[in-house]
Structure 1
Amino acid sequence: MKHTNVLLAGGASRRFGEPKAFVNWRGKMFYEWAKKALGEHMVIISRPEFIDRFQENGEIEVYQDAEPFQGMGPLAGIYTAFKKTDGDLYTVLSCDTPLIQRRTMLELKRLMTEGIDAVVPISDGREQPLIAIYHKRIMPILYDQLSEKRLRISDLLGRISVCYVQAEEIGANPAEFINVNTRDDFRRLEEKTDSFRWD
């Protein structure tokens, strides 16, 4: 089966105050930390106004949301990746999770077995559907849900076969699953990495 890595970088970042994908932290932009975790060729789904900036940084496959679902959040981003690329399995990662590690993504991929539509980790009691693996066969369900403007990922997960895995079961540090939404989150990154094991 053909595998595709997808970086979701289309959020408006209103709470943060600037595009999170390009925030510098420890010598890399947030999206570059996510790219390191994906570890292979990836496609980026972003906003039209960010595409040139990604391309200037050497990224080749950068797409805006497919019509008619532009600006409809992460589900539109996943649908766009399905539509624009020829793959079977899709590793999906949001750009605002700079602590996620390559080994964690590989463990999720390993758990994707026949008959499963998605592998989603759980950390501190919270599902993490934007750090997950999806099979392209869910594309018709995704299309229907977007057409109905049902944009909650939890609704999608309720309609497909999901393998949920606790972070500790795959050796992941709970800190990996922190997503940076605000400046306060950003300031807390350093304290979260005191005992962190990097790839």
Structure 2
Amino acid sequence: MEHINVLLAGGASRRFGEPKAFVKWKGQMFYEWAKKALGEHTVIISRLEFIDRFQENGENEVYQDAEPFQGMGPLAGIYTAFKKTDGELYTVLSCDTPLIQRRTMLELERLMTAGTDAIVPISEGREQPLIAMYHKRIMPILYDQLSKKRLRISDLLDRISVCYVQAEEIGADQEEFININTRDDFRCLEEKTHSFRRD
């Protein structure tokens, strides 16, 4: 089955105050850390105003949300990846999770079976649908939800066949699932990762 890596980097980052994808940490931008976890061939879904900046950094496959769903959040990003690329399995990762490891993403891929629509990890009791795998057959459900402006990912998960997996079952550290939403989160990043085990 054709496998596509998808990096979601189209958020407005209002709480952070600047585009999180390009925030520098330990010498690399957040999106570069996330891309490293995904692997070599990664498609980036972003906003129109960010596309030039990604391309200037050497990224060739960068798309804005497909019409008529522009600016409609992560579901629109996943739908766009389905529409713009010819794959069956899609590993999805948001750009504000710089600690996610390659081995964790590979474990999610390994768990995907023929009858499963999605593999979603759970960390500290919280589902992580933006660090997950999806099968393209859910595209009509995505289209239906976007058309009705039902943008909560939890609504999507309720409608598809999901295999949930605890982080510890795939050897993932809880710290990997930290996402950076605010400046305070960013300031705490170093403290939270003092003993973090990186690939």
Shorter-chain TM-score tier: over 0.9
Letter of the structure 2 residue corresponding to residue 102 of structure 1: R
Q: What residue is the counterpart of 2:27 in the other structure?
A: 27
Q: Residue 197 of structure 1: CA displacement? A: 0.8
Q: What residue is the counterpart of 2:95 in the other structure?
A: 95
Q: 1:100 is paired with a residue of what secondary structure? A: coil
Moved over 2 A (4+): none
Q: 1:163 is paired with a residue of what secondary structure? A: strand
> TM-score scaled to structure 1, two decimals?
0.99
- Whether 1:16 and 2:16 are equivalent positions in the alignment is yes
Deviations 1:149-198 (A, max 9, x none): 00000000000000000001101000000000000000111111111111
- Whether 1:7 and 2:22 are equivalent positions in the alignment is no
Q: Residue 40 of structure 1: CA displacement? A: 2.1
Q: What residue is the counterpart of 2:71 in the other structure?
A: 71
Deviations 1:109-153 (A, max 9, x none): 000011000000000100000000000000000000000000000
Letter of the structure 2 residue corresponding to residue 63 of structure 1: Y
State the Cα RMSD in Å: 0.4
- Whether 1:187 and 2:174 are equivalent positions in the alignment is no
Q: What residue is the counterpart of 2:57 in the other structure?
A: 57
Query: Structure 2 stretches of 5 or more lacking a match?
Result: none
Q: What residue is the counterpart of 2:122 in the other structure?
A: 122
The 5 Å alignment of 1:141-156 reads 141-156=141-156
> TM-score scaled to structure 2, two decimals?
0.99
Q: How many residues align?
A: 199
Q: What residue is the counterpart of 2:37 in the other structure?
A: 37
Measure, in 2, the Cα distance between the counterparts of 1:147 and 1:20.
28
Q: What residue is the counterpart of 2:47 in the other structure?
A: 47
Measure, in 1, the Cα distance between the counterparts of 2:93 and 2:40.
13
